[in-house]
Structure 1
């Protein structure tokens, strides 16, 4: 269920819509920051690091369930799902800490699921989380005219 919600970032788009709908101006700013950080994190993870750092997925023999046949063929390192989740969550937390805390629960679930499913090694997930943090930091350090939009 977590994997399905995290596919194509549906979970984070839904969270952004909910924050924008119920959070007033702060919710809208948090949603925009989260989606921006998610996009930056995905580009860093999937277009910059993955093509450079080829790593095979964990061996099927170490995954104790049948979901192992449903894994992607791309490089295992880093976890793009985790990068998107942590980038979104970290960027939201800067603007709306309570919403960031709520987002942290599914973000951790996404990271754990990526290892449990056999799609990633724990180090892939840790690198994805670090990339997400970098994405959030980047969004909050944008040039002043762009920063006014999300602050």
Structure 2
């Protein structure tokens, strides 16, 4: 799915390379999951971006499936903060990237056709 690919490219190929933000401090996380965090930059959440990109890509064509997908997408976002992998702002940025990626993939062909005329 193109929206997922674009979201991952922006998050992992651009944001994590440009914004070298450390993960939240281990002392903030009251459980052992904190040891399983990735070593890459915290900004932005690629998991959240992918979950929201998929949900936003499905929803216009199949609204009931989009509504169902919204639940696990929200859970992914919450889990990324709860596990200590991301700050809330990393998750918010990932969500925005996912939504914009789905919008762009859906709208870009029409925009290109307009520009070519």
**Same fold (TM > 0.5):** yes
Shift of residue 141, structure 1, vs aligned partner = 1.2
Q: How far, CA to CA, are the matches of 1:38 and 1:109 in structure 2?
A: 18
| 2:66 counterpart residue number | 100
Residue 89 (structure 2) pairs with residue 123 (structure 1): yes
CA separation in 1, counterparts of 2:41 and 2:16? 6
Q: Which runs of 5+ in 1 are unaligned?
A: 1-34, 145-151
List, as ranges, runs of 4+ consecutive aligned residues in structure 1 with deviation greater than 6 Å: none
Corresponding residue number in structure 2 for 1:78: 44
Q: Say if 2:27 is the partner of 1:61.
A: yes
Q: Is 41-50 or 61-70 further displaced after alignment?
A: 41-50
2:113 aligned partner:
none
TM-score (norm 2): 0.91
State the 1:142 CA deviation. 2.7
Task: Give the TM-score taking structure 1 as reference length.
Answer: 0.71
Q: Which runs of 5+ in 2 are unaligned?
A: 111-117
Which has a greater percent of helix? 1
Question: How many angstroms apart in 2 are the aligned matches of 1:38 and 1:89?
Answer: 10
Deviation at 1:50, TM superposition (A): 1.1
